[in-house]
Amino acid sequence: MKYDKNFIEKIERQYGLPCYVFDEDAFRENYCDLRNTLKRYYSKYEIAYSYKTNYAPAICKIVKEMGGYAEVVSDMEYAIAKKIGYESSMIVYNGPFKGELLEEHLLNGGIVNIDNMKEIRRIIAFSEKVEKCFNVGIRVNINVGQSFVSRFGIDADSDDLKYAVELINNSKYLKLIGLHCHIGQARNLVAWKSRTEQILQLADKYIEGTPKYLDLGSGMFGKMDEVMASQFTSAIPSYEDYAEVTAKIVYDHYRNLPEEERPILFTEPGTTVDNKYVDLIAQIACLKKIKGKSFGVINASIHNLGDVCTSVSLPIEVVHYSDCSNRDFDAHDFVGYTCLEQDVAYSNYNKGIADSDYLIFGNVGGYSNVDKPPFILPQCAMIGVSNGESYLIKRRETVEDILLTYIV
């Protein structure tokens, strides 16, 4: 989005600063681009939006309106999906720590991907108690060349997966209908191709007949500004590139089946669809120089921006507060309002800055507002913009909000 001083001052008056700005129109366009690109290769492709990356109800509702599923990993996220009107059949319940709403979800015909052996026994026991049949999926743990041992799912490289499938097949009420996998920090095409090929092999081996769905999880790069893309060691794949190592391979595998018998293919984008479409407008609170080093203290913190700002330099745009001519061109670290030394939101900005300038940090849609602790200051507001009109997504928090759960 493009920002000017008038627009920012209007936001400041209405909602206060800092403030998140969600670009609804661009979000919709990117969402459709991802979905349509994969659907061109495999018509039964569906998006299950990862709530943990940003569960702002306004955003989740847009996903719902565009036909997306909800991907949740806790009772809290499940409750949010329900609250905005999702049927259980459109909710994918994943994660290593499912709460007590899992049983309700099963009774309502929801999609569940089992993470571990204990969960299988829990679901079997429940099915026997209520004497009802449930369709379930398993999250498989495979290696796609990542440099760490993932702790999620059931190990496909030991006897565990075979044993898990036997438990399900031998149970009276459970049927295995899908497989899931998700590996973080493996966003390249080689890893995605491996993921797709392995899940197809495992489905052929372990699922009787054709699966109802295959879920490849998330971890695709989304679109990003060049200043950000250039900080990664390899080129950022396009959706077309990802489609060729996912949807195309799945299509080739099931091409001889009539369309209605082919499995649904899910991916679970969070950051891919939300990162680029939220900015944070912050402001310089004061400039200082200490032992030759220049700092700009800002009215936000790394907790507002999310962890990503500590590993890459976010795209940043400066809107001048005044037309004062003596801007400071030293390399500034933009540091947060907290009292933490590590609260560095941006290092070495040297394009000229003056007191009270506005800083707009881009690419903060995922793991930002949902990951902000009530540390030192309450959370700021979030607004959406569509067709040039702004609307409130989340009001700024107050001290009363923070104290609500404490006994005062």
Ligand X SMILES: *Cc1c(COP(=O)(O)O)cnc(C)c1O
Question: What is the binding site for ligand X (CB under 6 A)?
Answer: 50, 52-53, 71, 73, 94, 182, 217-219, 268-272, 366
Q: For residues 75 and 92, what is the distance between their CA atoms, to the nearest angstrom?
A: 12
CB 396 to ligand X: min, Å? 26
Amino acid letter, residue 140: V
Which is closer to ligand X, CB of 216 or CB of 385? 216
Which is closer to ligand X, CB of 97 or CB of 163? 97
Which is closer to ligand X, CB of 314 or CB of 353? 314
Which is closer to ligand X, CB of 218 or CB of 379? 218
Which is closer to ligand X, CB of 31 or CB of 334? 31
Q: What is the Rg, in whole angstroms, of the alpha carbon atoms belonging to the chain?
A: 23
Positive or negative, the CA dihedral 91, 382, 296, 377 is: negative
Nearest CA to 99 out of 78, 83, 80, 117 is that of 78
Residue 103: how many other CB atoms lie within 10 Å: 17
Q: Which residue is nearest to ligand X (CB)?
A: 270
Nearest CA to 46 out of 252, 215, 238, 193 is that of 215
Which is closer to ligand X, CB of 297 or CB of 312? 312
CB 216 to ligand X: min, Å? 9
Which is closer to ligand X, CB of 53 or CB of 299? 53
Whether the Cβ atoms of residue 113 and residue 92 lie closer than 8 Å to each other: yes
Strands 111-114 and 91-93: parallel
Q: For residues 61 and 151, what is the distance between their CA atoms, to the nearest angstrom?
A: 31
* Conformation bin of residue 406: beta by default, left when phi > 0, alpha when psi is -120 to 50: beta
Those residues whose C-beta lies under 8 Å from the C-beta of residue 75, and which sit 6 or more positions away, are 98, 99, 100, 101, 102
Quick one: 1 exposed, middle or buried, by C-beta within 10 A (0-12, 13-18, 19+)? middle
CB 407 to ligand X: min, Å? 34
CB 371 to ligand X: min, Å? 12
CB 113 to ligand X: min, Å? 8
The reply to whether omega before 237 is within 30° of 0 (cis) is: no
In the chain, count H helices and then E strands.
14, 18
Which is closer to ligand X, CB of 268 or CB of 279? 268
CB 245 to ligand X: min, Å? 16
Which is closer to ligand X, CB of 158 or CB of 185? 185
CB 52 to ligand X: min, Å? 6
Looking at residue 263, the DSSP 8-state letter turns out to be P
Whether the Cβ atoms of residue 56 and residue 45 lie closer than 8 Å to each other: no
* 3-state SS class at 336: coil
CB 220 to ligand X: min, Å? 7
CB 184 to ligand X: min, Å? 6
Which is closer to ligand X, CB of 219 or CB of 315? 219
CB 190 to ligand X: min, Å? 17
Those residues whose C-beta lies under 8 Å from the C-beta of residue 274, and which sit 6 or more positions away, are 27, 53, 54, 59, 365, 366
CB 326 to ligand X: min, Å? 42
Which is closer to ligand X, CB of 147 or CB of 170? 147
Those residues whose C-beta lies under 8 Å from the C-beta of residue 315, and which sit 6 or more positions away, are 224, 225, 227, 228, 361, 362, 363
